[in-house]
Amino acid sequence: MQNQFTGVINQLNKTCKIIKIEHDELEILSRPDRIIEVSLPVLMDNGRIKVFTGYRVQYNNIRGPYKGGIRFHPDVNLDEVKSLAFWMTIKCAVADIPYGGGKGGVAVDVKELSQGELERLTRAYTRGFADFIGPYRDVPAPDVYTTPQIMAWLMDEYSHIKGENTPAVVTGKPVEIGGSLGRDTATSLGGFFVFEQVLSKMSGMGGKDQLSIAVQGFGNVGMNFALIAYHAGYKITAVSDSRGGIYDPEGLNIEEVLSHKQTAGSVVNFNGLENITNEQLLELPVDIVVPAALENVINEANADKIKAKIILEMGNGPTTPEAEAALLKKGALIVPDVLANSGGVIVSYFEWVQNLRHYYWEQDKVEANLEKQVVRAFEKVWQAKEGNGCDMRVAAYTVAVERLVKALSVRGI
């Protein structure tokens, strides 16, 4: 199996052939600007020092400061971080916000760390990368297993290093220290806006009460998407988290599922329903599947078993190229991650603007501007899809690459 970044560049090559991009621009976009790897010594609670490896890939900043999350996960590796940094470059260009793309990570299981160890790791990461991040250079954000609290520690450590309060160094912070209202649900709400735009373009899908949705991943993004869709009148028939999932063809009460998870620590064993695996959830007889967990969950092994007509990619890179080809052949519509989950980085941009101006918005203004921005991005991608006769991922990449190449051209690079 090819590594993830090779697949990413193959997608870029495919896009460049369609829009006839010159070799020189492709050479620039095929490589990250900078790869930084840092050893992070952390004092553990047992009195011993443990050294973790931290990564930050700054992929491209032609349209603005590098932007991208930091993930703390056992499977973090350089190939993954490079791929995620590339996707952030594309995502920011699709959303048409003035950022480039970057990503960071540490290979660590946060469930094995105490609160104190997690804080010391975060501060070590900040010290290790303090010379490479900043409000006008590279602006991190939360990602898998990183939280607003972790962003607060990062901002605090960076501010101490620089000798001044610097809220704009990071987004996704608590509102008490400069975070934006609406940021916690932004990815999910943006995805919901995209989802409703997709439905408006498709005929024969039926009304809300006729559609069934399965959400894989009941973390912040998947949980909030399920809640938003449920309250809007859609039928959520299955959800899952890292321990497994539940399925009810008649529809779940997502408020009750959330209450159960908060009490039991998982959605499994809810209300006498039969438990299912994460793999089984993807293969259910539903209209829409929403993968909101980790990469490559839809792959060659299960693509032929997936029955959904729409795949809404709320997680990053959930579909392998081989699986995508099989699903497209079956007539499925795949709404790519670089569009579907762009709400988070759009509101991160709003947070950054608020920090720089020291002027903060009401939540209804945040959400109205999010809807305006993400609907505009969707329309641009849909026009490219219809105009080029291609799938939505290629269309999104077309929009992004054309914007990146234009920026390279007008800057004389």
CA gap 350, 338 in Å, rounded: 18
Query: For the chain, percent helix, then strand, then coil, each to nearest 5?
Result: 50, 20, 35
Q: Could you give the maximum distance between any two Cα atoms of the chain, in Å? A: 64
Active-site residues, by number, are 103
What fold, for 31-167? Rossmann fold (3.40.50)
Strands in 288-291's sheet, in edge-to-edge order, are 275-276, 244-247, 235-241, 212-216, 288-291, 310-312, 333-335
Rounded average pLDDT per 10-residue block, the chain, 413 residues: 78 83 83 97 98 98 97 95 95 97 97 97 98 98 94 98 98 97 96 97 81 95 97 97 95 97 95 93 97 91 95 93 94 96 97 97 98 98 94 95 93 83
Q: What is the pLDDT of residue 360?
A: 97
Return the domain boundaries, the chain.
Answer: 31-167, 186-340
Q: What is the pLDDT of residue 386?
A: 95
Q: Which two tokens stand for residue 367?
A: 């959400």
pLDDT tens by residue, 196-236: 999 999 877 777 888 999 999 999 999 999 999 999 999 99
User: What contacts 163, CB < 8 A, 6 or more positions away?
Assistant: none
- DSSP reduced 3-state for 68: strand
Q: Is the pTM of this model over 0.85?
A: yes
Give the residue from 394, 324, 403 showing the smallest Cα distance to 13. 394
Q: What is the pLDDT of residue 161?
A: 98
Q: What is the pLDDT of residue 210?
A: 86
Answer whether 352's CB lies under 8 Å from 139's CB: yes
Q: What is residue 335's DSSP assignment?
A: E
Secondary structure of the chain as H, E, C letters: CCCHHHHHHHHHHHHHHHHCCCHHHHHHHCCCCEEEEEEEEEECCCCCEEEEEEEEEEEECCCCCEEEEEEEECCCCHHHHHHHHHHHHHHHHHHCCCCCEEEEEEECCHHHCCHHHHHHHHHHHHHHHCCCCECCCEEEEECCCCCHHHHHHHHHHHHHHHCCCCHHHCCCCCHHHCCCCCCCCHHHHHHHHHHHHHHHHCCCCCCHHHCEEEEECCCHHHHHHHHHHHHCCCEEEEEEECCEEEECCCCCCHHHHHHHHHHHCCCCCCCCCCEECHHHHHCCCCCEEEECCCCCCECCCCHHHCCCCEEECCCCCCECHHHHHHHHHCCCEEECHHHHCCHHHHHHHHHHHHHHHCCCCCHHHHHHHHHHHHHHHHHHHHHHHHHHCCCHHHHHHHHHHHHHHHHHHHCCC
31-167 and 186-340 have identical folds: yes
Q: What is the pLDDT of residue 1?
A: 45
CATH code matching the domain that covers 186-340, chosen among 3.20.20.150, 3.30.980.10, 3.10.105.10, 3.40.50.720: 3.40.50.720
CA gap 225, 360 in Å, rounded: 25
